[in-house]
C-alpha cells in the first residue's frame, strides 16, 4: 500500500516569541503544503528521501533502528520512526512547496505529513490531535532547545488557533477556519530559529528584562484584540493589529532591514497590514490584502526582488492526497 499525506505551512498572525514565555499567540495554516509519500514494505529497510536534502537509510532491528546512511537534515525523521517502534520497513519521499528556513515551518509540516502517512500505512492508533506530544521533542531539537510547538496545531488541524502555555501544558483552541488572502515575501535572508529563540531573546531578557516583558504584555493585548477582529471578520482592524505586532518585534531587535523594506512597500501599496512571521532576522513577511489592492501589493513586493507568493491562510490541516 502507499499513502500520500500533505500538510500546510504556518504563519504567526501574532504572538511569536512571546508564546515561548507563556503568552498567547494566534497561528494559522498557509496554503503552501508539503507532501510525504510512504510505502510500507515487508523488509526491515527504511529509506527517507527529500529532493532538497538527499537520502537517509536505516534498518529495523528488534523494533529499534540502526542508521546505515546518516543524513543530518533528515535525522529527525529517523528519530520519529524510532519512537514509533514500527514492525517493518518503508520508503518515504518528501516534496514541499514551502521554502526551507523561511519561517513557515516547513519542518513541522513535513513531520506532520510523515507521521500521518506512517499512521495510515501501519494502522497506528494515533489521532492528529495527539501529534503534538510526538512532534514537540523533535521541534525543540530543530529550534535549539526552546519551542512552543504552536505550528504543530495549525499544520495538523488547519485553520486559526489560539495557543497558550499554562504551567508547561500547551493549550490550543481552534478559533475558526476561513480563508484570508495574503501575499508572502520570502526575503531569502535566513537565520536559524535557534539564533533568535535560543540566543538573542534570552540574552535580551538578561540585559533588558523590563523592555522585553513590557513588549510581550503589549503583544498579548494585540493577540487578544486580533482574536476578536478575526472572529468578527474585521479585516481592517486585523491589519492595524498586525502592523503593531511588527513594530513590537522590531523593538526587540527581531526584524531585519529586508523585512522592514518589504513591510513598508506592502503598506505603501495598500495592504491592510504587514508583519514578519516566525523567528525573524530574515525569513518571510506577509501582507494581509483585500481584492482591490492584492495585485498592487504583489507587484510592489516583487519589485523588492524577494520571492513572492500570493496565497491564503486558514485552510485545511493534514489530509490524505488521493491523486498526487
Ligand atoms: C518560530 O517559528 C516561532 C517562535 O515563536 C518560536 C516558537 O514558538 O517555538 C519564535
Q: What is the pLDDT of residue 167?
A: 73
Same domain, 110 and 234: no
Residue written as grid cell 512571546:
18
Whether 69 is covered by a domain: the verdict is yes
Q: What is the pLDDT of residue 323?
A: 54
Statement: residue 278 has pLDDT above 70: yes
Whether 103 is covered by a domain: the verdict is yes
Statement: residue 126 has pLDDT above 60: yes
Confidence of residue 128 (pLDDT cuts 50, 70, 90): confident
Q: What is the pLDDT of residue 103?
A: 78
Whether 245 is covered by a domain: the verdict is yes
Decide if 282 contacts 256 (C-beta within 8 A): yes
Same domain, 122 and 200: no
Looking at residue 260, which CATH number applies to its domain?
Answer: 3.30.70.890
Helix/strand/coil for 158: coil
Confidence of residue 104 (pLDDT cuts 50, 70, 90): confident
Report the distance separating Cα 30 and Cα 32, nearest Å.
Answer: 6
Tell me the pLDDT tens digit for each residue of 178-224.
Answer: 789 999 999 999 898 889 999 999 999 999 999 999 999 999 999 99
Which of 91, 88, 105 minimizes the C-alpha distance to 8?
Answer: 105
Q: Taking residues 284-313, what's their average pLDDT?
A: 97
Whether 111 is covered by a domain: the verdict is yes
Q: What is the pLDDT of residue 177?
A: 78
**Domain limit, last residue, from 132, 148, 177:** 177
Q: Taking residues 44-67, what's their average pLDDT?
A: 93
- pTM for this model (two decimals): 0.87
Q: What is the pLDDT of residue 259?
A: 98
Confidence of residue 93 (pLDDT cuts 50, 70, 90): very high
Same domain, 196 and 158: no
Higher pLDDT, 104 or 206: 206
Q: Which three cell numbers stand for residue 227?
A: 482574536
Whether 30 is covered by a domain: the verdict is yes
Higher pLDDT, 144 or 291: 291
Helix/strand/coil for 280: coil
> What is the total count of domains within the chain?
2
Same domain, 236 and 257: yes
Q: Which three cell numbers stand for residue 300?
A: 510592489
| Ligand 1: centre distance to CA 250 (Å) | 16
Same domain, 12 and 114: yes
Same domain, 11 and 150: yes
Helix-strand-coil split of the chain, %, nearest 5: 40, 30, 30
CA of 105, closest atom in ligand 1: 2
**Domain limit, last residue, from 177, 210, 238:** 177
Q: Which three cell numbers stand for residue 193?
A: 530559529
First to last CA, the chain: 15
Q: Taking residues 40-50, what's their average pLDDT?
A: 96
Domain residue limits at 47 = 2-177
Same domain, 46 and 166: yes
Residue whose Cα lies nearest atom 9 of ligand 1: it is 147
Looking at residue 158, which CATH number applies to its domain?
Answer: 3.30.230.10
Q: What is the pLDDT of residue 188?
A: 94
CA distances from 276 to 36, 154, 171, 259 (A): 28, 18, 24, 7
| Residue 144 CB coordination number (10 Å) | 15
Statement: residue 17 has pLDDT above 70: yes
| 162 Cβ below 6 A of ligand 1 | no
Statement: residue 139 has pLDDT above 90: no
Decide if 38 contacts 47 (C-beta within 8 A): no
Statement: residue 106 has pLDDT above 80: yes
Q: Taking residues 146-160, what's their average pLDDT?
A: 88
Decide if 28 contacts 11 (C-beta within 8 A): yes
Whether 318 is covered by a domain: the verdict is no
Mean pLDDT of the chain: 93
Q: Which three cell numbers stand for residue 322?
A: 488521493
Same domain, 142 and 14: yes
| pLDDT > 90 in the chain, percent | 82
| 212 Cβ below 6 A of ligand 1 | no
Q: Taking residues 268-286, what's their average pLDDT?
A: 96
Same domain, 144 and 241: no
Q: Taking residues 288-311, what's their average pLDDT?
A: 97
Q: What is the pLDDT of residue 166?
A: 80
**Domain limit, last residue, from 119, 153, 177:** 177
Q: What is the pLDDT of residue 101?
A: 72
Which helix (H) or strand (E) segment holds residue 33: the answer is strand 25-40
| Ligand 1: centre distance to CA 105 (Å) | 9
CA of 16, closest atom in ligand 1: 5
Whether 324 is covered by a domain: the verdict is no
Q: Taking residues 50-76, what's their average pLDDT?
A: 93
Same domain, 157 and 108: yes
What's 25's DSSP letter? E
| 280 Cβ below 6 A of ligand 1 | no
Decide if 311 contacts 33 (C-beta within 8 A): no
Whether 321 is covered by a domain: the verdict is no
What's 318's DSSP letter? S
| 279 Cβ below 6 A of ligand 1 | yes
Q: What is the DSSP string of 192-227?
A: -HHHIIIIIHHHHHHHHHHHHHHHHHHHHHHHHHHH
Same domain, 28 and 164: yes
Same domain, 150 and 273: no
Amino acid at each position: 500500500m502507499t499513502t500520500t499525506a500533505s500538510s500546510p505551512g504556518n504563519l504567526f498572525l501574532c504572538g511569536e516569541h512571546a508564546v515561548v514565555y507563556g503568552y498567547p499567540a494566534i497561528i494559522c495554516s498557509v496554503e503552501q503544503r508539503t507532501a510525504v509519500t510512504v510505502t510500507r514494505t515487508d523488509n526491515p529497510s527504511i529509506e527517507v528521501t527529500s529532493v532538497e536534502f538527499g537520502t537517509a537509510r536505516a534498518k529495523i532491528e528488534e523494533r529499534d533502528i540502526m542508521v546505515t546512511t546518516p543524513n543530518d537534515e533528515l535525522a529527525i525523521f529517523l528519530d520519529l520512526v524510532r519512537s514509533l517502534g514500527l514492525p517493518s520497513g518503508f520508503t518515504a519521499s518528501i516534496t514541499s512547496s514551502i521554502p526551507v528556513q523561511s519561517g513557515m515551518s516547513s519542518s513541522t509540516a513535513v513531520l506532520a505529513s510523515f507521521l500521518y502517512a506512517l499512521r495510515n500505512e501501519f494502522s497506528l492508533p494515533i489521532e492528529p490531535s495527539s501529534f503534538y506530544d510526538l512532534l514537540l521533542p523533535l521541534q525543540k531539537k530543530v529550534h535549539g532547545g526552546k519551542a512552543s510547538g504552536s505550528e504543530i496545531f495549525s499544520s495538523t488541524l488547519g485553520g486559526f488557533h489560539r495557543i497558550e502555555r499554562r504551567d508547561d501544558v500547551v493549550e490550543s483552541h481552534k478559533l475558526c477556519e476561513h480563508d484570508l488572502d495574503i501575499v508572502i515575501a520570502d526575503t531569502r535572508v535566513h537565520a536559524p530559529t535557534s539564533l533568535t529563540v535560543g540566543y538573542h531573546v534570552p540574552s535580551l531578557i538578561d540585559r533588558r528584562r523590563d523592555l522585553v516583558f513590557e513588549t510581550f504584555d503589549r503583544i498579548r493585548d494585540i493577540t487578544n484584540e486580533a482574536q476578536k477582529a478575526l472572529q468578527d471578520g474585521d479585516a481592517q482592524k486585523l491589519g492595524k493589529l498586525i502592523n503593531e505586532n511588527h513594530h513590537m518585534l522590531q523593538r526587540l531587535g527581531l526584524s531585519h532591514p529586508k523585512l522592514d523594506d518589504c513591510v513598508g512597500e506592502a503598506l505603501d501599496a495598500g495592504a491592510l497590514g504587514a508583519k514578519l512571521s516566525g523567528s525573524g532576522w530574515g525569513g518571510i513577511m506577509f501582507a494581509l490584502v483585500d481584492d482591490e489592492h492584492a495585485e498592487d501589493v504583489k507587484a510592489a513586493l516583487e519589485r523588492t526582488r524577494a520571492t513572492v507568493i500570493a496565497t491564503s491562510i486558514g485552510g485545511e490541516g493534514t489530509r490524505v492526497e488521493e491523486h498526487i
